Each structure stands twice: as C-alpha cells, then as structure tokens.
Chain A
Amino acid sequence: MFGKCELVDTLSSDLARARNKRDTLAACVNTLTAQIAELEARLSAETARRARERAASASLALASACRTLGLRVGEDPAAAWIAETVIKFAQRGIRDPVELRRMTLKQFGFYE
C-alpha cells in the first residue's frame, strides 16, 4: 500500500518539478521574445538611419561633383549621368561622400 502511495507521490513531485521547469523556461521565452522585439526595433531604426545616411552621402557627392563639373542638378541632362554613376558607386558600398565624389569624377576623366 505504501509503495502505491509512493508512486503517486513520486509522480506528483515529478509533475510539480516539470511544471516549475516549464514555467521558468516559458518565462525565459517571454523575456527573450521581448528582447528580440527590442533588437528588431533597434536594427530597423539602424537600417533606416543608414539608408538615410547613404542617401545624404550620395546627394552630397552628386551636388559636389556637379559643382566641380559646372553642371546644375535637375537642369543639365548630363547631371543625370553623374547621378547614375554616384548611385552605382553607392550601391557598391562606398558610403563616404568624398570618396563617392572622387570616384564619380574619375569615371568622367576628372582627376583631382
């Protein structure tokens, strides 16, 4: 009889332990989910910031290159070629506006 009760006790304590462990792990999962959401938000903000930065860098490089070549952005058709070149280099990963400008000008045979 005692053996039978012991089995119930063992099963009950195993069950309690398993439930505790599951609750603890589930709490960890919830915490991690919150952390993941936060990281996703930060990464998204960082990605957006970098995109803005790239756009600003390309814009700066384009304006500077056009000024050097005596072109007016939005008015001279040749400025569109300069813009395409700037974008091409920017897409290759060049972020620095000075470097972007230098390489764009070089592309058009203008060495500084």
Chain B
Amino acid sequence: MFGKRELAGTLSRDLARARNKRETLASSVTTLTAQIAELEVRLSAENERLERERAASKIEGIKKQVTDHYLAFVPVIGAIRDATEVAAAIVPEAHKINESLGVVATEIANAIDGLSVELDRRIEAARAGKAAPELPQSLTRSLEFHPAK
C-alpha cells in the first residue's frame, strides 16, 4: 500500500524536477536566442562596414590611378610645349599649337581637380555609410589602370 503511495509521490517529484529543469533550460534558450539576435545584428553591421570600407578603398585606388596618370601627363604636355616653342621659331603657326596645349592643360587640370573632389566626397560618403557600397561597373572599368605599351 505504502509502495503504491510512494510511486505517486516519486512520480510527482520527478515531474516537478523535470518541469523545473525544462523551465530553466527554456529560459537559457530564450537568453541565447536574444544573444544570437544581437550577435547577428553586430555581425551584419560589421560586414556592412567592411563592405563600405572596401568600396572606399576601391575609390581611393581609382583616385590614385587618376592622379598618377595626370602627374605623368603634366611633364609630357610641358615637354610638347617646350618643343613647339622651339618649332615656332621656324614655323610661326606653332605658337597656336602651344597656346592650344596650354588651354588643354588648364582644362584637364581643372577637370582632374573636380574629379578628385568628387571622388573624395564619394570616399567619405562610402565610409559614412551614406552611399551604396557597390561601385557602378562602368566606373570601375573605365578607370582601370592600363599601363602604356
């Protein structure tokens, strides 16, 4: 008789213990789920930041290419102007070429300055997360470095 009563008591105790344990574990699962959500948000933010940083670095590389090529172009124009100046002593019309080269050089310098400012603005925007991190393919392709053959 007592054995039978004990069985119900044991079952009730086991049940209470199992329920407590399950509640504790379920609470841990809830806590972990919240932590996972937080980690996912942080990871996503970090990935986005890295992506923006990559985009900014890419634009910086493009800007460097533009500047390097421009810097290579300046002495070439200077040399051509020097040569046409010499040629003008023989062919007076060469003065016109010299003047044209000056205008072209100034226009290119202004355009390059404007482009640099715009690229800086894009770099800043990319780092601040204000611009889409993906660069247009046409822009990246058109400004790729092509070494002189």
Contact = CB atoms under 8 A, between A and B. Distances in A.
Contacts of B53: 4
Interface stretch (B24-32, B106-114, B117-125): B24-32
Contacts of B28: 25
A14 interface: yes
Interface string B1-33: 100110110011011001101100110110011
Interface residues on A, range: 20 to 34
Contact of A39 (B14, B43, B49, B50): B14
Contacts, number: 72
Interface residues on B, range: 20 to 34
Interface stretch (A40-48, A67-75, A82-90): A40-48
A106 interface: no
Contact of B47 (A8, A28, A29, A49): A8
B50 A25 contact: no
Given A28-B25, A36-B15, A42-B11, A11 B43 contact: yes
The 6 closest A-B CB pairs, nearest first, are: A32-B22, A22-B32, A43-B11, A11-B43, A39-B15, A15-B39
Interface of A: 4-5, 7-8, 11-12, 14-15, 18-19, 21-22, 25-26, 28-29, 32-33, 35-36, 39-40, 42-43, 46-47, 49-50, 53, 95-96
Interface of B: 1, 4-5, 7-8, 11-12, 14-15, 18-19, 21-22, 25-26, 28-29, 32-33, 35-36, 39-40, 42-43, 46-47, 49-50, 53
